[in-house]
A and B are shown apart, each in its own frame.
Chain A
Amino acid sequence: MNTRPATLLAGLAVVACSALTACGAPDTGGSASTTLYTESTAAPTSFDPARARAGDDFVVDSLLYDTLVARDDDGLVPALATEWTEDSASSYTFTIRDDATCADGTAITPTVVADSLKYFANNDAGDHVFSPLVFGPGKPTITADDAAGTVSIELSEPYAVLPAGLAIPQSGIICPAGLKDPEGLANGTVEGAFSGPYALGETKPGVSYTYELRKGYDAWPEFAEPLTGKPASKLVFSIATDQATAANKLLSGDLQIANLGGENIDRVSKGDFNRVKTIIANVYVMFNERPGHFFADNAEARQAVARAIDRDAYNNVFSAGKADLFNSIVPSSYACALDDESLIEPHDPAAAASVLKGAKIKMVASTAFGDSGKGAEYLQAVLTDAGAKVDLQKVDNATWATETQKPNGDWDITFMGDINAGRIISASLDRVLGTPLEKGGRNIPGVDNAPAAEALKQGLQTADVDAQCEAFETAQRLLLERDDVVPLSGVTWETTSASNVTVRAPGGNLNYRTVRIED
């Protein structure tokens, strides 16, 4: 009996000593190790790319599945498809490389590619959310020609941005083993399903996920600036708590890659790190323009809101000044983005007050955008200064989405955080100019701007790049002239990595396939 406490004490002492010793020399995953540790904001909702729904799913899919094309800084580059032709906005042909294989050794033939794309295009169950964004509003007819090594896609309705859509990870090619076992595919248990550079390794649900480099994989995208260094043999994604903790872990060497925003960027600014800046969501003010709401048919009031905002002051509150201000609903780096500052309403609080005095405005905002929704607090403050009575509901992202994405949502104004996975401008315009929610579309505020909507439609119907951009720019101009939206900024991340680790964001899209360890 007397020896037990002593044994326990000794045991604890050993644990404590080993713990304290360990903290003196943490394993930073240096040159000897090719395992890299990083974080994602949430656990993957599915390992089936067609059923991907959230940003973290896209990251996983980009590691596990190859796409036909890849996004680079100056447009699209070959990936599984070595080249492609656009006969019209409805007809496309992709030539498939002949040396790619699945994780189980199966050759990735045109038939394999076509079968995967047909699976993705089939949205009968409504869970292939991104299928309409890739193939457009019509039905695709996908055919393979193994002899010629090509896959043809014919669309029942013109959709000029199809190739760009085929660069998003959600359209990644699923190998035959995965298509045979949809449940296993979603659970990530079918190793033969993977066509990408990594396969799913150890998983601790909701805690961490390990991705292991496939031996012999060599179908890396052909970026204009070739990747140097060697890929990590393992990438371990644990689920992040917050960015402050991620910054702590990066500084202590527990992470080699972390996504930081706002003031957390300053915390690591003096360290020897590599950095790449990405915009993960485009933020703008959106008005509920359905009948019965304050801003419906009230362009003067929308303009007053725009004039109440001092964009620099907003940006300081929203991101400690780290974000870039936009002149449209997307950043200027998007193809066909309008970057005309003259379309931005000047800051004029007096003019705003003359219109908004006494107005009763219901505002809903997500805490996910900016520093716990501080941008929304700024907007509430300036509208209150203008004499409006603003009822702000600041809620978590799911509650915000629930409220704003139902046609009868009880809100007048909100901060929109638009995550545009494909960086395709039409996808962002569709959110405010397309078919409204109540008719099965994606137009959240119910904006009825017919000329702008027509311009968007025209842009999607032409394969001529210049004509397409002209149409999309017209749509943006008409949208901004009516103050249907008030452009603000992006939710900006700096992906910060250890000095010997690089990550790239080709075309502004953070791409974990580009993670390399330099010698």
Chain B
Amino acid sequence: MSTPSVTDSVTPTPAGGGAARRGRSPWAEFAVKRALGLLGTMVVLVLLTFFIVRLIPGDPAVQVAGSDATAAQVEAARHQLGLDKPLWQQLGDYVGGLLRGDLGDSFSMRGSVRDVVLSRLWFTGTIAFVAMAVVLLLAVPLGMAVGILTRGGRRRWLDRVFTVLTGLVAAVPSYVMATLLILLFPVTLALLFPAYSELNPTASLVLPVLSLAVGPIMIMARVVRREIAVVLEQDFMRTARGWRLGTLRLYGKYAFPSLMTSTLTLSGLILTAMLGSAIVVETVFSVPGLGLGLVRAILAKDYPVIQGIVLILGIIAALLTLAIDTILGIIDPRTLGGRHA
């Protein structure tokens, strides 16, 4: 990248130590560290979810056997579910299944956990990734615009209004935002859908996406506004302004790339957080995604589905973080944690 940027202007750290000193690629060290980290995360997730689900009050065998079951029938259900085995054996069976790629079978519905997860993943993935796209498309231009308009202490009123408004909206929890959006659009304006609709799947996902996106738009816009203020004071921007370039070219080509690192880092954090918020938003809008599935599985004491969904969400979050770090590593190799080769 020949374009001058903030990252280019940072003084390189003195050489010595780390991968470079040992003559290894920083990518190799990065890959080893991350693979070990991913493995550790998975082990912790598997163990934690396995033991935590068993702390949920209530007996899954009673739930599965139904309200008309006798004690003997409940015991038969317990045997069928494998819950009469010692805990270590249940853990062994579960881990053995995972190693074979088998997440087990649902207690509460016919079918494998894999099928349950796959049928729901699309919904969660769609609302989270579309929400993220909306955040990037709106927050970056908004933050840049306010930053540019208020640079050097200009238009202080705009700065104050922006700061107060974004702070207020960002503080609204996603479930409150979801309720407010339902109140505004379907209830008051008779627009869009208050819940997921099989008849209008695309339209009915608009409000869930907005519920997830509005808060992060504000957060990211604030970060971008602060970042751009710093970038605009850099020497290369003063030089670029002297070239009398058009506004779009000036800020798009010279200022925007300098925001990439912080924007991407924040995007990773927001996207991971959105997977958590999806649990609430999916429940409010009745979107049949992983979040709603998790809530239902907890109520149904469906241990395999709870374990499966938590594990898959954990893997997705870990992989997202890895992907963001990899992209950051490509943009700025110093973020790899080692030294330049």
A197 to chain B, nearest CB (A): 21
Can you sample 20 A-B contacts with CB below 8 Å?
A12-B130, A12-B133, A12-B137, A23-B192, A37-B199, A47-B110, A53-B64, A129-B66, A187-B111, A188-B110, A205-B115, A207-B120, A241-B195, A252-B193, A399-B57, A399-B58, A401-B63, A406-B71, A419-B67, A440-B71
Contact A398-B200, Cβ < 8 Å, known A9-B137, A12-B134, A19-B206: no
Kindly list chain A residues whose C-beta atoms are within 8 Å of the C-beta of B252.
2
Stretch at the interface among A38-46, A103-111, A378-386: A38-46
Contact A440-B72, Cβ < 8 Å, known A22-B200, A23-B203: yes
A207 and B119 contacting across the interface, CB-CB below 8 Å: yes
Residues of chain A whose beta carbon lies under 8 Å from any beta carbon of chain B: 2, 5, 8-9, 12, 15-16, 18-20, 22-23, 26-29, 37, 42-47, 53-54, 125-127, 129-130, 133, 186-188, 203-208, 236, 238-242, 245, 248-249, 252-254, 395-399, 401-402, 405-407, 419, 421, 437-438, 440-442
B68 and A133 contacting across the interface, CB-CB below 8 Å: yes
Which residue from B65, B130, B194 sits with its C-beta under 8 Å from A129? B65
B178 to chain A, nearest CB (A): 12
Which residue from A45, A127, A203, A396 sits with its C-beta under 8 Å from B108? A45
In the complex the two chains form, what is the Cα distance from A126 to B70 in whole Å? 9
A150 to chain B, nearest CB (A): 30
Kindly list chain B residues whose C-beta atoms are within 8 Å of the C-beta of A254.
193, 195, 197-200, 204
Kindly list chain A residues whose C-beta atoms are within 8 Å of the C-beta of B186.
248, 252
A116 to chain B, nearest CB (A): 20
B58 and A15 contacting across the interface, CB-CB below 8 Å: no
A442 and B70 contacting across the interface, CB-CB below 8 Å: yes
A205 and B111 contacting across the interface, CB-CB below 8 Å: yes
In the complex the two chains form, what is the Cα distance from A127 to B65 in whole Å? 7
Kindly list chain B residues whose C-beta atoms are within 8 Å of the C-beta of A15.
130, 202
Residues of chain B whose beta carbon lies under 8 Å from any beta carbon of chain A: 57-60, 62-77, 80, 106, 108-111, 115-116, 119-120, 130, 133-134, 137, 186, 191-195, 197-200, 202-206, 252, 283, 286, 288, 292-293, 296, 299-301, 305
In the complex the two chains form, what is the Cα distance from A125 to B59 in whole Å? 19
B5 to chain A, nearest CB (A): 14
Kindly list chain A residues whose C-beta atoms are within 8 Å of the C-beta of B203.
18-20, 22-23
A206 and B66 contacting across the interface, CB-CB below 8 Å: no
Which residue from B68, B80, B200, B299 sits with its C-beta under 8 Å from A26? B200
Which residue from A127, A401, A407 sits with its C-beta under 8 Å from B67? A401
Which residue from A9, A127, A407 sits with its C-beta under 8 Å from B71? A407
Kindly list chain A residues whose C-beta atoms are within 8 Å of the C-beta of B305.
206
B200 and A44 contacting across the interface, CB-CB below 8 Å: no
B288 and A18 contacting across the interface, CB-CB below 8 Å: no
B193 and A20 contacting across the interface, CB-CB below 8 Å: no
In the complex the two chains form, what is the Cα distance from A6 to B24 in whole Å? 40
B197 and A206 contacting across the interface, CB-CB below 8 Å: no
Contact A241-B69, Cβ < 8 Å, known A45-B108, A248-B195, A399-B57: no
Kindly list chain A residues whose C-beta atoms are within 8 Å of the C-beta of B206.
16, 19-20, 23
A45 and B198 contacting across the interface, CB-CB below 8 Å: no
Contact A42-B300, Cβ < 8 Å, known A130-B68, A437-B70, A438-B71: yes
B116 and A18 contacting across the interface, CB-CB below 8 Å: no
B62 and A20 contacting across the interface, CB-CB below 8 Å: no
A205 and B69 contacting across the interface, CB-CB below 8 Å: no
Which residue from A205, A419, A438 sits with its C-beta under 8 Å from B119? A205
Of chain B, the residue at the smallest CB distance from A442 is B70
Kindly list chain B residues whose C-beta atoms are within 8 Å of the C-beta of A16.
206
Which residue from B110, B202, B286 sits with its C-beta under 8 Å from A18? B202
A398 and B63 contacting across the interface, CB-CB below 8 Å: yes
Kindly list chain B residues whose C-beta atoms are within 8 Å of the C-beta of A442.
68, 70
In the complex the two chains form, what is the Cα distance from A33 to B274 in whole Å? 37
Contact A187-B110, Cβ < 8 Å, known A8-B137, A23-B203, A205-B116: yes
A26 and B286 contacting across the interface, CB-CB below 8 Å: no
Kindly list chain A residues whose C-beta atoms are within 8 Å of the C-beta of B299.
396, 398
Kindly list chain B residues whose C-beta atoms are within 8 Å of the C-beta of A406.
71
B196 to chain A, nearest CB (A): 8
A242-B286, A401-B59 are known; give 10 further A-B pairs, CB within 8 A.
Answer: A12-B130, A19-B202, A43-B108, A45-B64, A129-B68, A205-B116, A206-B296, A398-B59, A399-B57, A402-B58
A46 to chain B, nearest CB (A): 6
Of chain A, the residue at the smallest CB distance from B286 is A241
B61 to chain A, nearest CB (A): 9
A317 to chain B, nearest CB (A): 23
In the complex the two chains form, what is the Cα distance from A206 to B292 in whole Å? 10
A37 and B58 contacting across the interface, CB-CB below 8 Å: no
Kindly list chain A residues whose C-beta atoms are within 8 Å of the C-beta of B73.
126-127, 129
Which residue from B63, B66, B202, B283 sits with its C-beta under 8 Å from A22? B202
Which residue from A203, A253, A398, A438 sits with its C-beta under 8 Å from B60? A398
A53 and B57 contacting across the interface, CB-CB below 8 Å: no
Which residue from B66, B106, B202 sits with its C-beta under 8 Å from A53? B66
In the complex the two chains form, what is the Cα distance from A245 to B179 in whole Å? 12
Contact A26-B197, Cβ < 8 Å, known A205-B115, A440-B71: yes
Kindly list chain B residues whose C-beta atoms are within 8 Å of the C-beta of A42.
108-109, 296, 300
A136 to chain B, nearest CB (A): 14
A245 and B194 contacting across the interface, CB-CB below 8 Å: yes
In the complex the two chains form, what is the Cα distance from A398 to B134 in whole Å? 40
Kindly list chain B residues whose C-beta atoms are within 8 Å of the C-beta of A18.
202-203
